[in-house]
Amino acid sequence: MRFVLFAAVLIASPALAQKPAKPAPAPHPGAEVYQNICQACHMANALGGEGAGKIPALAKNGALEAAGYPIMVVTGGKNAMPWFRGALTDQQISDVINYVRSNFGNKYKDKVTPAMVAEMGVPAPKGGMREQ
């Protein structure tokens, strides 16, 4: 009897250990770009702050509603905000804009595509430092 119980536990235990593993949610493709580049100025929580100048919050930012605006700013730069056309691909630019527009309290549902970045974005400056 004791042996049977022991065997039953042995048989049952691997089944117990094999709880279906929850797949980790795939990270947003724009999150990496944000963390590597944008967060240095706009901060991890996207609240911005005071650095060399005033860095605006991207969190809960109504200026992001019209997708064309962040496309213009990220591709063309604006005052102390550097331009990223040429440094990032159109895919990376659309990914990071989609990430910011759907996180940090922003809930804009429409998606920016690389084609929109190509069409609406400011071209990389000719003869600029970033031209290769």
Instruction: Identify whether the C-beta of residue 51 lies closer than 8 Å to the C-beta of residue 41.
Output: yes
50-59: b or e for each residue (b if 16 or more CB lie within 10 Å)? eeeeebbebb
Q: Closer to ligand HEC at the Cβ: 21 or 52?
A: 52
Question: Which residues from 29-58 bind ligand HEC, rule CB under 6 A?
Answer: 33, 37-38, 40-42, 53, 55-56, 58
Binding flag, residue 63, ligand HEC (CB under 6 A): yes
Binding flag, residue 81, ligand HEC (CB under 6 A): yes
Instruction: Identify whether the C-beta of residue 120 lies closer than 8 Å to the C-beta of residue 76.
Output: no
Q: Closer to ligand HEC at the Cβ: 6 or 51?
A: 51
Rounded distance between C-alpha atoms, residue 36 and residue 109, angstroms: 24
Q: Closer to ligand HEC at the Cβ: 7 or 63?
A: 63
The tokens of 38 are what? 């944008």
- Binding site residues, ligand HEC, CB under 6 A: 33, 37-38, 40-42, 53, 55-56, 58, 61, 63, 70, 73-74, 78-82, 84, 96, 100
